[in-house]
Amino acid sequence: MTKRKFFIDTDTASDDAVALLMALEYPDVEVLGVSIVSGNMPVEQGSINARYTIELCEKEVPVYVGSDKPIVKKKEHADWFHGPDGMGNMNYPPPKLSEDKSDYIEVLKSLIEKYPNEITLVTLGPLTNIGKFTKEYPDLFLKLKNIVIMGGASTTVGNVTPAAEYNIWCDPEAADIVFKSNHHEITMVGWELCRGGANLTEDEMDYVYSLKTRKGDFTIDCNKHALDSSQNWLGDPGLGLPDPVAMAVALNDDVVLKSDRHHVKIVLDGPARGMTIVDELNVGESEPHIDEHWSHTTKNINVIWEIDNNQWKETLYKTLKN
């Protein structure tokens, strides 16, 4: 079997860990490497969580520690959502797998040179690492096959401010670099896609436990703090898993029901800092436009508007059964 090649950038907390597990366990995917970025967790904890997840899956995948702070703004973490360890306070044992001390930028450079137009990059955290790579090697960045970004909110409420989703808000300058890179296959999977019917219900979580596998138990256990946050803070009916939804989009084309290409701008300052403004009506292509900010724009991002909730969940379940 010819395997698809993935590289994953993550600020590994509980839902990131499940997304990483999905890629590691998907039968036709080879994960070439994992880079850690500051976001949900400090990079030290993010690395521990990623390495523990890789060990759980009995894989050997190198983990590289990347940027420990955003390009401009001060760093913030999300222990209030995921718990102090990022894993629902499960206090998993330290992993035996060591970090690879190589520079993630040079590693990704070498991988793209070796596999031009073959690598899918999936980002599960702030875009600091990828923004820095894009700035250093803009032409090589264009030789990634595609980029799937868990981040942003498409014409909907944010989850860290009224306007912004957490990953983009953490480092909007990095997101701006990536969104302006001119790569033709960047897909934005907004956080709103994990809400409502995409939540795992109590019955669905019971089903995962009924699989009686370590990976199934891990998926729900490490997200218990996130479940409490989802229900009691966000008001969702069950467990929202934004990173696994994004990974499902990367793994399985059938998950996507509706997507369109639009111009997306990143707001860099003010109370809407980190907002992803999606030109849903494509007004920026109507020239001349009355607003200077929305003239001569081009469609730069594939925006996912709707997913098949059953397909996304089946994609998850498929990776938990062994």
Q: What is the pLDDT of residues 197-241, one digit of tens each?
A: 999 999 999 999 999 999 999 999 999 998 888 888 788 899 999
pTM: 0.97
- Asked whether 47 and 189 are in contact (CB, 8 A), the reply is no
The string of pLDDT tens digits covering residues 161-205 is 999 999 999 999 999 999 999 999 999 999 999 999 999 999 999
At residue 287 the predicted structure's pLDDT band, cuts being 50, 70 and 90, is low
| DSSP for 247-300, written as a single string | HHHHH-GGGEEEEEEE-EEE--SSTTTT-EEE-TT-GGGSSS-SSGGGSS----
pLDDT at res. 80: 80
Q: What percent of the chain has pLDDT over 90?
A: 89
- Count of structural domains, the chain: 1
Looking at residue 63, what is its pLDDT?
A: 98
> Residue written as tokens 């366990």?
25
Question: Starting at the edge strand that comes first in sequence, how are the strands of the sheet with 186-189 ordered?
Answer: 63-65, 29-36, 4-10, 119-123, 146-150, 186-189, 301-307, 256-262
Q: pLDDT digit string (tens) for 122-162?
A: 999 999 999 999 999 999 999 999 999 999 999 999 999 99
pLDDT at 296: 85
pLDDT level of residue 280 (50, 70, 90 thresholds): very high
Measured CA to CA in angstroms, residue 69 lies from 87, 132, 266, 288 at distances of 21, 12, 19, 40
> Cα separation of 148 and 247, whole Å?
8
Q: Which domain holds residue 201?
A: 4-318
**Residue 180 phi/psi, 5° resolution?**
-100, 15
Domain of 70: which CATH number? 3.90.245.10
